[in-house]
Amino acid sequence: MDIIVLNAPPSSGKDHIADLLLEAIPNSHHREVKEMLFSVAIKAAGVTPQLWNALYDDRHYKEEPCPFLMIDGKHVSPREWMIHCSENLIKPIFGEDAFGKAAVASLKKDFPEGKGVIVYSDGGFKEELACLSEYAYSTGGDLLLFRIHRVGYDWGNDSRTYLSLEKNGIKGVEFDVVNPEGAPWECASEIVCKYIDAKEAQEEC
């Protein structure tokens, strides 16, 4: 199983690019490392999945304080609530690699044959990459990390950042690509080409 991880700042087009990759790469599937986090965040907030999706999927509501979400007496945005659940609830109890392990467990359950191409559009922590890399290579596949850059977008207060496989001793191949304003298909096309080139290079070795 090949695993492609998109590493980019919030709202810089990762999900759209992931959808474009699915159209171009056969037997590919879009997943998110934070799938478990969504479940915990919704249950901890005491809201319905429908309400949560309406808040989180809207870029405006996602970043604004919400009357349904409160930390230490202060209303917070859905994004801040997610960070709180991740950093103050889940990781202290289950470890820094909790989401990576959960993602791998989900892949084993949904793709028992260990085949296909999985595109993660929310890569942001080295511990998660380490888990995904180990699993990809255990199935005979590869891990490919794409750091996506887009003018005018940065990490801001996000707890994630750009990652490096080499600096963290994680097996895989990594690239930097640009998502041009108004032309996400150009970025997706470059990722597909680099993916194909990387696979062909490994077959020749």
pLDDT of residue 143: 97
Residue whose token pair is 């998110």: 32
- First and final CA of the chain: distance in angstroms? 18
Strand order in the sheet with 28-31: 28-31, 117-120, 2-7, 143-149, 173-178
pLDDT of residue 94: 92
Total-model pTM = 0.89
pLDDT of residue 205: 62
β-bridge pairing 70-71 and 74-75: antiparallel
pLDDT of residue 63: 86
pLDDT of residue 158: 76
Residue 3: both structure tokens together: 């695993």
Residue 140, burial from CB neighbour count under 10 angstroms (0-12, 13-18, 19+): exposed
pLDDT of residue 5: 97
Burial 185-199 (b: 16+ CB within 10 A, else e): eebbebbbebbeebb
pLDDT of residue 50: 93
Residue pair 28/152 in contact (Cβ under 8 Å)? The answer is no
Kind and range of the H or E element at 193?
A: helix 184-204
In order along its 205 residues, the chain shows pLDDT tens digits of 999 999 999 888 999 999 999 999 999 999 999 888 999 999 999 999 999 989 888 778 888 999 999 999 999 999 899 989 999 999 999 999 999 999 999 999 999 999 999 999 988 899 999 999 999 999 999 999 999 999 998 887 777 889 999 999 999 999 999 999 999 999 999 999 999 999 888 776 6
